[in-house]
């Protein structure tokens, strides 16, 4: 009988919580092909960048260091989350896009699979809604941030971040100018979990309620996943290089505005075969960004999730990054 495999909510270093994503995705892609779910109770202060966000375009690394806020990078794409104190990271790994929602497709991935989180938050006493793209609204305020990645074989990783003691919005004094230019929250004031969840609910109880809500929504029994997997936490250590994750020797970044914020490109070479690093705030699969950076739109591009920009946006920026004589930007 199909089941949802789960690790019980546990306190974890933030680096371990981020490393849990690839580890559970590997389990979801195994021969058993079952969905996996975990909740990690974490501590900040820290900024968690999306997998494809160039550090210096999002944060002022010196200001973060002065405040004692680590800058880390997660495995999922999307926008940055700020954890000012205690927080929760939920990790959901699926063997394929329709594992929980039979009508889900690559382009409706978040719309369908976020519904379990909405049920979980609501059962914890915080009515939840999702209006698209990268955040969940609790009590009509942005309060949880989404990240996603997908493997070429269709397996999916979704991460949800929420701060308990402080809202997840990046404080202006820690943000780079390009980041401050974006209205991430559509004029709304982001909330901490402590602002929108009943005070009687502990953070661990909230984390568990969301896990149980997802399983209930999916109509799957929740079974103990046993021992936690071995984690490659060394991949998720603090970032100190301004251009991380752009490879060394790349050209200056080219920027373009898109509905979700910014996309970025940098030429890795100007001799055939020309290659481009593509990144930014977009919610998509990292393999798709790599493929588009090679100059071709793969035949299965439509089978990859893409939120906040279009294939045409990304391809056009990649071509511009390779244009002779392009003035540096970013």
Q: Per-residue pLDDT for the chain (330 aa), expressed as one digit of tens each?
A: 689 999 999 999 999 999 999 999 999 998 778 999 999 999 999 999 999 999 999 999 999 999 999 999 999 999 999 999 999 999 999 999 999 999 999 889 999 999 999 999 998 889 999 998 899 999 999 999 999 999 988 999 999 999 999 999 999 999 999 999 999 999 999 999 999 998 777 899 999 999 999 999 999 999 998 888 899 999 999 999 999 999 988 888 899 999 999 999 999 876 567 789 999 999 999 999 998 988 777 767 777 899 999 999 999 999 888 875 554 444
Query: In the chain, what are the domain boundaries?
Result: 4-236, 254-322
Q: Look at residue 329 in the predicted model and tell me its pLDDT.
A: 45
| Tally of CA atoms within 13 A in the half-sphere of 98 that contains its CB | 6
Q: Which numeric CATH code is attached to 4-236?
A: 3.30.930.10
Asked if residue 306 lies in contact with residue 149, where contact means CB atoms within 8 angstroms, the answer is no
In DSSP notation, 187-211 reads: T-----HHHHS-TTS-HHHHHHHHH
| Preceding amide of 2 cis, omega within 30 | no
Can you list the alpha helix ranges (DSSP code H) found in the chain? 14-28, 55-58, 61-67, 109-123, 177-180, 193-196, 203-218, 286-293, 311-322
Tokens of 154: 């269709």
Rounded Cα distance between 142 and 135, Å, is 6
Q: Look at residue 31 in the predicted model and tell me its pLDDT.
A: 72
Count of CB atoms within 10 A of residue 231's CB?
A: 19
Q: Look at residue 247 in the predicted model and tell me its pLDDT.
A: 92
Count of CB atoms within 10 A of residue 205's CB?
A: 13
Q: Look at residue 328 in the predicted model and tell me its pLDDT.
A: 42
Q: What is the pTM of this model?
A: 0.94
Q: Look at residue 162 in the predicted model and tell me its pLDDT.
A: 97
Q: Look at residue 56 in the predicted model and tell me its pLDDT.
A: 97
Tokens of 176: 């780079």
Asked if residue 103 lies in contact with residue 112, where contact means CB atoms within 8 angstroms, the answer is yes
Q: Look at residue 2 in the predicted model and tell me its pLDDT.
A: 85
């Amino acid at each position: 009988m199909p089941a949802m495999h789960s690790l019980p909510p546990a306190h974890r270093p933030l680096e371990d919580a981020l490393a849990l994503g690839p580890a559970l995705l590997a389990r979801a892609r195994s021969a058993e092909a079952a969905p996996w779910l975990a909740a990690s109770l974490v501590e900040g202060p820290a900024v968690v960048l999306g997998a494809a966000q160039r550090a210096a375009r999002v944060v002022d690394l010196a200001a973060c260091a002065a405040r004692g806020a680590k800058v880390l990078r997660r495995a999922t794409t999307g926008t940055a989350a700020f954890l000012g104190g205690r927080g929760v990271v939920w990790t959901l790994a699926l063997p394929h896009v329709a594992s929980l929602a039979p009508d889900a497709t690559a382009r409706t991935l978040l719309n369908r699979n976020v519904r379990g989180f909405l049920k979980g938050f609501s059962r914890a006493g915080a009515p939840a809604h999702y209006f698209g793209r990268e955040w969940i609204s609790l009590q009509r305020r942005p309060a949880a941030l989404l990240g996603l990645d997908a493997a070429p074989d269709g397996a999916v990783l979704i991460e949800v971040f929420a701060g308990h003691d402080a809202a997840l919005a990046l404080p202006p004094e820690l943000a780079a100018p390009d980041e401050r230019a974006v209205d991430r929250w559509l004029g709304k004031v982001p909330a901490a979990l402590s602002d929108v969840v009943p005070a009687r609910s502990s953070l661990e109880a909230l984390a568990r309620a969301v896990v149980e809500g997802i399983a209930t929504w999916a109509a799957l029994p929740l079974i103990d996943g046993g021992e936690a997997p071995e984690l490659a936490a060394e991949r998720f250590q603090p970032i100190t290089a301004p251009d991380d994750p752009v490879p060394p020797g790349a050209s200056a970044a080219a920027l373009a505005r898109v509905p979700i914020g910014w996309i970025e490109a940098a030429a890795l070479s100007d001799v055939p075969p020309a290659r481009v690093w593509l990144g930014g705030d977009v919610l998509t699969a990292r393999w798709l960004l790599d493929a588009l950076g090679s100059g071709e739109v793969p035949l299965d591009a439509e089978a990859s999730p893409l939120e906040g920009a279009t294939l045409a946006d990304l391809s056009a920026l990649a071509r511009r990054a390779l244009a002779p004589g392009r003035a540096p930007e970013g």
